[in-house]
Every structure is written in structure tokens, then in C-alpha cells.
Amino acid sequence: MDLFLSLLNMTVEASVPYLLITIGGVFVARAGVFNISMEGCTEFAAFAGILFTFVTGKIWVGVISSILLALFINFVFYIFTVKLNGNLSVVGTGINLMAACVPASLLSALFFTRSNLIATSIINPANMMYDVPILRSIPVLNDIFNRQTLITYITPFIVFGLIVVMYKTKFGIYVRVTGENPSAAQAVGIKTNRIKMYCLLISAFTCALAGLNLSVEKLGMYTINMSANRGFICLSAINCGRKEPGKACIYALIFGFVRALQTIINNFVPVAISSLLGIMPYVAIIVVLLIVEIPNARKNHLRCFRDLA
């Protein structure tokens, strides 16, 4: 029972970055933009949060810097792809490659290391965990949800709020029309480019929170490739959920559960097998995609899809 509760507790913790990246990415996808730069944006946000906290000695400066950098990156993506009609995949890949190289280069130049930047002298991860008195009095819920970080607690509200925005507001209607039929949207006076920019900024904000959760809240340090392909995994969650925010977030929770399960199993197996288990999240992507796509392929009347199914 304790092991099961521990698994659920780690699932809640591990799912936060997936949920944040996914819910922001859904808005971009529904606006008709294929944004593969979420991985790089999350990586840059995680790095900026620790870098500016370490340099200034103030956590709030790191938080604001992380959010501003993520907004700037997605604004650059908007300029190159939407305004200048650049190739989405090329621009997104460029940002991801920069995220893989720039932090390592800056660490090497400024701190003479290419692996990590530790700010635990300023950030105490234990102090980032909040004890909620209401949860403390409820046995099972206390073990699962209590002693989590601030971003973990606000993530459900962000997800629910953005789902409401998508389906219950005029802006959400504009987002869906922009992605489904941009010509019709422009014909009725919707500024589609502006809608796409707003969606990219929403995605930037959620990616920044995901990066801050990974580096500042959980560890108080930054390590190379800290986002660990979460941006790409969330693209799979968005596609599996057919760009529906609720469904996409369910798949994000599944990937978070697999990540937590991998962490739990690592405690009971040798190091060699533990390294091999690192493929579990990626195997989960393949399995989920097969489960989702094969029924759809069976419904397709084209011969090639029937043969595939």
C-alpha cells in the first residue's frame, strides 16, 4: 500500500511538466501552428531560472527571467514562422538545437563546467514543498497530494482555466476557427496572426512554468538536457488527444505515470537495467500511438490504411 501511494505521489509530481506543456501546446495546435520548439523553450526556461537565481541571489529574479526568456523565444518563433512564413519544422528545430548547445556553452564559459549549475545555496528544494493543513488531516490524500510544490498546486487551476477559455470564451472560438478555416476567420474580421501570437505566448508561459518546476522547485539546480524530451512527448499527447485539451491532458497524465513508474522500478533493479528502463516513456509513446491510431486506420476506407490496420 505504501508503495502504491508513493507511485501516485510521484505521478502527481512527474505529470506537472507534461500537463503544463501540453495545455499550452493545445492552444498553438488549435490555432494551426505546429510548434516543435516547446522542448527548447522548456529547456531555456529551466536554465534561465537557475542562472539568474545564481547570479542575483534572488529566486524571484530567476522566475521572472525564465518567463520573459520563454516569451521572447516564442515571439521569435512567431516572427519567423507566421510573419515571415518560415518553415515551422526548420525554425523549431533551430530553437531546439540552440537549447541543446547554448546552456552548455554558457556554463563552460562562465562557470567552467558543461554539466550542471547548482544553486542549492540559494534555493532549498525542501522549502519549496508546501504543507497543506486540510490535506494533512485526510490519510490517503495526504500521502498523494500533500507536500507538493506551488506550481504543482496551481497546475490543475491553469489546466481547468485554459479549458474554459478554449470552449467558453470568444477568444477560444477565434482560436478554433483560426486553426480550422483561416480564410473564413479572416473573412469575418478575425486577425489570425494576432491569435496565433497570443497562443504562442500562452504556450511560452506554460513551458516556462514547466521549466521552473523541473529546475528551481524540484532540484535547485540545472543539468544539461533537463527537459528530457518532454516537449516532444507532449506533442504526442496533443496528437493522441486530437488537439482536445481534456483528452490531451489525460495522455499527459499517462506519460507522467510511466515516468513515475520508471523511477519506482529503478529503486529495485541493478544500475545496468536501470539505465535501460530510461526508454519506458518512449515505449509508452509508441504503445499509446498504436492504440489510438489503429482504430482510426480501420475506419479509413482507403486501401493503404486498411492494409496497415
pLDDT (tens digit per residue) in 11-66: 999 999 999 999 999 999 999 998 899 999 999 999 999 999 999 999 999 999 99
State the Cα–Cα distance between residues 205 and 197, nearest whole angstrom: 12
Residue 129 lies in a domain: no
Residue 245 lies in a domain: no
Residue 256 lies in a domain: no
Q: Please, what is the angle between helix 150-168 and helix 2-30, to 10°?
A: 40
Residue 47 lies in a domain: yes
Residue 30 lies in a domain: yes
Residue 278 lies in a domain: no
Q: Identify the bridge partners of residue 223 per DSSP, sorted by sequence position.
A: 116
Domain count, the chain: 1
Residue 296 lies in a domain: no
Q: Identify the bridge partners of residue 129 per DSSP, sorted by sequence position.
A: 149
- pLDDT tens-digit series, residues 73-115: 999 999 999 999 999 999 999 999 999 999 999 999 999 887 8
pLDDT for residue 308: 46
Range of the domain at 194: 2-123+134-227
Residue 181 lies in a domain: yes
pLDDT for residue 3: 86
